[in-house]
Amino acid sequence: MKRPATKTMVMGHPVIAVPLMLIGGITLLAGFHAGNLLIVIFAVAILGTVSKASEEASAYRAWEREWNGMAPTTPRQRKRVWGRIVVLVASVALFGLMLSGGASASDAAICIGLLASSVGIIAIVLRLVIRCLKRRRPGRTRSSVVAVVARPVMAAPNLADAYRALPPYCHALLRGQE
């Protein structure tokens, strides 16, 4: 696997990614409250860029860990966590914004926003609960049965017997006569 760019590795590191996600979320809320579409687009771009960098960096680190460990299995696939976190933060922010009535829109728009954000929050929470319940069940072992078939050992002839078994034209060729 090719190492991602240094910018991606730095921006995707958890120490850098978490504060950038918080800044993006705060910028998103500020854009909603100010009613400025440009700020909202900028915040979504920040969140998307940091999310992608984090996924690429964590995938590379997981691959590197497996490579350095020389594990016989293929590298594990990391779950895409940042996308769910972004959706959860956006849903909670939208829910809080609509609930406070900060948007200067009609009652129908506020109801639609509350409904959309509520559905997003409920879907993510249900998914987390289902995943936690699945983890409690004992899982299958990942070891697989390996069959090794050894070839029968064949005796190799010695050099004198091998020369005697050659056809006559090979003898002439080996002596240098054509």
* pLDDT one-digit tens code per residue, 98-142: 666 655 556 666 666 666 667 777 777 777 777 777 776 655 555
**pLDDT computed for residue 81 by the predictor:** 62
* pLDDT one-digit tens code per residue, 75-96: 556 566 666 667 677 777 766 6
Supply the pTM of this predicted model: 0.42
* pLDDT one-digit tens code per residue, 6-46: 999 999 888 888 888 888 888 888 888 888 888 888 889 98
**pLDDT computed for residue 27 by the predictor:** 86
Average pLDDT value for residue range 153-165: 85
CB 114 within 8 A of CB 99: yes
Give 49's pLDDT tier (boundaries 50, 70, 90). Answer: very high
More confident site: 50 or 34: 50
**pLDDT computed for residue 56 by the predictor:** 93
Q: Provide DSSP, 15-66.
A: HHHHHHHHHHHHHHHHHHHHT-HHHHHHHHHHHHHHHHHHHHHHHHHHHHHH
More confident site: 64 or 149: 64
Alpha helices in the chain (DSSP H): 6-11, 14-34, 37-69, 81-100, 107-136, 159-164, 168-175
